[in-house]
Structure 1
Amino acid sequence: MSPSRGKKPARTWRPSASSLRVRLILGMLTVDTGCIIVSYMAAAGLRGVFANDTAWIVILAMVIPIFVITTLNNDSYAATNLRDPFRSVARGLQAYALAISAVIFIAFCLKASDTFPRLVVATSSAFAIASLALGRFLFVRHMPALIGGNPFSIVLLYDSGQPIPRGEFSVVIAADSYFDPDHHDPVMYDRLAQSLSGADRVIVACSPERRLAWAQALKGANIQSEIFMPELNVLAPLGISAHGDTPTVIIANGPLVLFDRFVKRSFDVILASCALVTLMPIWILIALSVKIDSPGPIFFSQIRIGRSNQMFRLMKFRSMRVDLSDGAGARSTSRNDDRITRVGKFIRSTSIDELPQLLNVLKGDMSIVGPRPHALGSRAADKLFWEVDQRYWHRHAAKPGLTGLAQIRGYRGATLYEDDLRNRLQADLEYLEHWSIWRDIKIILLTFRVLLHRNAF
């Protein structure tokens, strides 16, 4: 059947989508204005001016219309912002901040500062910010139940043989039977427009060679249009940029911004220096014990993979016999490993053997918190780590750490199975994506809880 002469695909989404959208906007507007009104009334009551001073009512009467106009202008009620609770909250708070700023500016220009109820406005604003954030979050989170259904329609168009994206769709259409983007026919474009009428988004699953044709066909459809690209799951782009007039895909962010790097490095140097001074008696005691227990050097050094996939030499207290040491790290340490000395068993079970890495931190090879560095020959289920998961190299975008998110989650010890590595890798990538100095502090505090761990051997 020719795409130009085929029948229209059956439309299965509810005809009440437009009424649901009206309910959504009116409901959100009611929540917004209600939160602001209640906040001002509560603040006036707390200040004891609810009935004997009308200045706060005048302020409220000015804030409400300015707020409504601002929300309409900053797309607070747009579908893209009402599908995400956090984006919805951000838009609402932005609108209120602009509204109250405009009212204060008007009061200043009219020289009404003598009668301006500063404390009432400040208290009201604090209440309004809290109530707006909570009200918008809960409304968007429970929107289908509150308005009687999902007002957003998502259409999937797919070519035969193409993988279908996961997720819920209002309508799924086999495009081959009705539309051919390579066939520039007004009838076909009209049928496409009618099929997408009332939808909020359309997602196309097609072969790579057909993507340009579909993009051209949908650019004039007046609907948010997207093309499914499963290879992005591997590429994992972070955004879109451009070099000159040519668009590029951002696949890595690079280092932290200068201020964040300064904060993290300062934190590392201060903490490592204090720890070295405080723990010096333990250092001396462990050094003597290692030397007396078995012949060989006090420290053990091993090549590890560090930031930017550059290799460095990691320091530890020696815990194994010199003649049985594994410099490449191909053999994972087992619970009753015959290579471990008597002192080595103790310092490994208490993680004391890791203390010399404070020197690596001061040198700049490591950080206090970050993905743990691995030896070159480390294996999981007899496979090198990077053979188990190609994302392994992504974890080296930051300095390796003495401790990390994987460690406080209990992912340590021998990697006997591939999932032993994947669990650690997932935690490391999560750490890189959501870094903050506060999270570093939290990880350090939680590390004390897992210093004595069943997998520490």
Structure 2
Amino acid sequence: MIKKHQRLFNIMQVSLDALSLLVAYTGAIVFKLNITGFAGFGFVYYWGALWMVPLLLVVYHFMDVYSPMRSRMYRKEVLMIVRAHFMGIVTIYSVLFLNKDIQYSREVSLLFALSGLCLILVERYFVRKTLRYLRKKGYNQKHLLIVGAGPVGVEFAHKVNAHRDFGYNVIGFLDDDESKQQGKVVGKPVMGCCSLLPRLLENRSIDEVVVALPLNAYGKYGGIVDGCEKAGVRVRIIPDYNKYLPGSPVIEEFDGIPLLNIRKIPLDDPFNRFVKRTFDLAVSSLALLITSPVMIVIAAGIKLTSPGPVFFRQSRIGLNNRPFDMLKFRSMCVADDARAATTWTTPNDPRKTQFGSFLRKTSLDELPQFFNVFTGSMSVVGPRPERPFFVEQFREDVPKYMVKHQVKPGITGWAQVNGWRGDTSIEKRIECDIYYIENWDLLFDVKIMFLTVFRGLINKNAY
């Protein structure tokens, strides 16, 4: 059983992390101080290895870097490691500062911080690839027993079978429905009724029990949980009411009372908001600096090809349903603002100028929105904002439409890089927006930015 070897796996993982950090530490000293023999390191650097590496490992532990990762996306693991490594390095620098250790090279500690993070990420990547390969071959498996052979249990079993690389194996089901007993569900046997659970836990190699019972079987949960804890087997519950929830729920606590938050939004966390805002400021500043010559040329082109202002300002709905003025390069002839606020652009819209058609097709008309990002009304990545007139329509006609306003709108988004731009399905756009809102992290933003460059700048639906 996997639980017999879990301690060994954890020790191996910590050992590999320690080895990676020691290699990075040694490399930083050799690179900076040009020392080729260990004898030339000096006591201060030997002592540094003895406390810096263990300190980082302790910080990793307390920031959940050694929690189970088999079903977690690598992107999420990377972010956990980066955050923990950053906190560990801050702690190391604090110790050096308080100790006033002037003998220790700050350049060495900086090289160690950067190279250590890189080596840890590379090492974790190869560990993950190796484990997933072995799991596909049938090794390093966690054996699951599903209590409940109804729709919830069946759906879960299908998902387990679809992700063999996660290393889970369903050995069977328990269900009180006599018509299902002694038969098979998703190719796995229904071993009997729920009351057989203690006997199975005693006689079979079971690592986890997954409870997938309907709401009307709520009274059985207590006995199942007690039986699993008595046997020392981990138990997890799939709530049957998840089909009624609009998002990805998370358990919170209010003075010891658990509360179910029906939608987990990572950007509700102040630290995450700080990270995203810092990223937005850095990207928008760089973008404005790099594209300023292009924007000057575009401004001149607009002035030379049609009368009117260079910029077009339009009211859009942003964070917390608040309106803001979004900037674009003007791509149409000057017209009645009321009409522009309530009318879609069409492929052969007579209001567009010839130069404006080129700007819209290449998305160059969006460049001034980096000013919106810089001032804080928009983000580089997020759901695209809509005009108030259409927001009022969509909030009634499109389920969950208003969820998109729980984060800042963006210049580009997950919906846009997946092709849902222009005259396309609003429902599909909202699905993508909600997925982004519930799964945000910094690497996801970076991924969307790269996809925007390769997929989203020139788009057949942009007119």
Residues 224 and 390 (structure 1), Cα distance of their counterparts in 2 relative to 1, 3 Å cut: farther
The whole-number CA distance in structure 2 between the counterparts of 1:307 and 1:122 is: 38
Residue 216 of structure 2 corresponds to residue 209 of structure 1? yes
Q: Paired residue for 2:302, among 261, 286, 296? A: 286
Residue 131 of structure 2 corresponds to residue 143 of structure 1? yes
8 A Cα contact 2:215 2:241, kept in partner: no
Between the two proteins, what is the percent identity of the paired residues? Answer: 22
Residue 253 of structure 2 corresponds to residue 246 of structure 1? no
8 A Cα contact 1:321 1:341, kept in partner: no
The offset of 1:455, in angstroms, is 3.4
Deviations 1:408-436 (A, max 9, x none): 66543322xx3x75257526742774355
Report the 3-state secondary structure (helix = DSSP H, G, I; strand = E; otherwise coil) of the residue aligned with 2:260: strand
Q: Which aligned pairs between 1:166-181 and structure 2 lie closer than 5 A? A: 166-168=159-161, 169-176=169-176, 178-180=192-194
* Alignment correspondent of 2:385: 373
Residues 201 and 401 (structure 1), Cα distance of their counterparts in 2 relative to 1, 3 Å cut: same
The offset of 1:157, in angstroms, is 1.3
* Alignment correspondent of 2:199: 191
The whole-number CA distance in structure 2 between the counterparts of 1:267 and 1:127 is: 23
Q: Paired residue for 1:319, among 320, 328, 332? A: 332
Residues 217 and 37 (structure 1), Cα distance of their counterparts in 2 relative to 1, 3 Å cut: same
TM-score normalised by L of structure 1: 0.61
The whole-number CA distance in structure 2 between the counterparts of 1:75 and 1:270 is: 32
The whole-number CA distance in structure 2 between the counterparts of 1:350 and 1:87 is: 36
Q: Which moved more, 1:197-206 or 1:277-286?
A: 277-286
8 A Cα contact 1:157 1:205, kept in partner: yes
Q: Which moved more, 1:364-373 or 1:43-52?
A: 43-52
The offset of 1:135, in angstroms, is 3.7
* Alignment correspondent of 1:158: 148
Q: Paired residue for 2:236, among 223, 226, 238? A: 226
Deviations 1:151-189 (A, max 9, x none): 4222211154545212143322132154457xxxxxx56
2:174 maps to amino acid: A
8 A Cα contact 1:47 1:120, kept in partner: no
Aligned residue pair count: 413
Residue 345 of structure 2 corresponds to residue 333 of structure 1? yes
* Alignment correspondent of 1:430: 436
Report the 3-state secondary structure (helix = DSSP H, G, I; strand = E; otherwise coil) of the residue aligned with 1:47: coil
Structure number with the higher helix fraction is 2
Over the aligned positions, Cα root-mean-square deviation in angstroms equals 6.1
The whole-number CA distance in structure 2 between the counterparts of 1:401 and 1:150 is: 42
Q: Paired residue for 2:399, among 390, 406, 420? A: 390
Q: Which moved more, 1:397-406 or 1:39-48?
A: 39-48
The offset of 1:208, in angstroms, is 1.7
8 A Cα contact 2:152 2:240, kept in partner: no
* Alignment correspondent of 1:6: none
Residues 200 and 306 (structure 1), Cα distance of their counterparts in 2 relative to 1, 3 Å cut: same
Report the 3-state secondary structure (helix = DSSP H, G, I; strand = E; otherwise coil) of the residue aligned with 2:345: coil
The whole-number CA distance in structure 2 between the counterparts of 1:65 and 1:366 is: 41
8 A Cα contact 2:145 2:172, kept in partner: yes
Report the 3-state secondary structure (helix = DSSP H, G, I; strand = E; otherwise coil) of the residue aligned with 2:142: coil
The whole-number CA distance in structure 2 between the counterparts of 1:280 and 1:362 is: 18
2:238 maps to amino acid: F
The whole-number CA distance in structure 2 between the counterparts of 1:339 and 1:444 is: 32
Report the 3-state secondary structure (helix = DSSP H, G, I; strand = E; otherwise coil) of the residue aligned with 1:334: coil
Deviations 1:36-62 (A, max 9, x none): 787788889983335799979987997
Residues 212 and 348 (structure 1), Cα distance of their counterparts in 2 relative to 1, 3 Å cut: same
TM-score normalised by L of structure 2: 0.61
* Alignment correspondent of 1:47: 35
Residues 305 and 130 (structure 1), Cα distance of their counterparts in 2 relative to 1, 3 Å cut: closer
8 A Cα contact 1:17 1:151, kept in partner: yes
Deviations 1:74-96 (A, max 9, x none): 799987357657769959x88xx
The whole-number CA distance in structure 2 between the counterparts of 1:436 and 1:362 is: 18
1:226 maps to amino acid: R
* Alignment correspondent of 2:186: none
Q: Which moved more, 1:155-164 or 1:270-279?
A: 270-279
The offset of 1:377, in angstroms, is 6.3
Residues 194 and 373 (structure 1), Cα distance of their counterparts in 2 relative to 1, 3 Å cut: same
Residues 58 and 315 (structure 1), Cα distance of their counterparts in 2 relative to 1, 3 Å cut: closer
Report the 3-state secondary structure (helix = DSSP H, G, I; strand = E; otherwise coil) of the residue aligned with 2:383: coil
Structure 2 gap ranges (5+): 162-168, 182-191
Report the 3-state secondary structure (helix = DSSP H, G, I; strand = E; otherwise coil) of the residue aligned with 1:203: strand
8 A Cα contact 1:389 1:422, kept in partner: no
* Alignment correspondent of 1:200: 207
Residues 230 and 287 (structure 1), Cα distance of their counterparts in 2 relative to 1, 3 Å cut: farther
Structure 1 gap ranges (5+): 1-15, 182-187
2:385 maps to amino acid: P
The whole-number CA distance in structure 2 between the counterparts of 1:41 and 1:216 is: 55
8 A Cα contact 2:315 2:326, kept in partner: yes
Deviations 1:338-367 (A, max 9, x none): 454556535534546557767866886545
Report the 3-state secondary structure (helix = DSSP H, G, I; strand = E; otherwise coil) of the residue aligned with 1:167: helix
The whole-number CA distance in structure 1 between the counterparts of 2:302 and 2:109 is: 63
The whole-number CA distance in structure 2 between the counterparts of 1:123 and 1:341 is: 54
* Alignment correspondent of 2:188: none
The whole-number CA distance in structure 2 between the counterparts of 1:40 and 1:276 is: 42
Residues 318 and 278 (structure 1), Cα distance of their counterparts in 2 relative to 1, 3 Å cut: closer
The whole-number CA distance in structure 2 between the counterparts of 1:378 and 1:135 is: 49
8 A Cα contact 2:403 2:434, kept in partner: no
Residues 318 and 121 (structure 1), Cα distance of their counterparts in 2 relative to 1, 3 Å cut: closer
The offset of 1:204, in angstroms, is 1.0
Q: Whose radius of gyration is greater, 1 or 2?
A: 1
8 A Cα contact 1:40 1:56, kept in partner: no
Report the 3-state secondary structure (helix = DSSP H, G, I; strand = E; otherwise coil) of the residue aligned with 1:191: helix
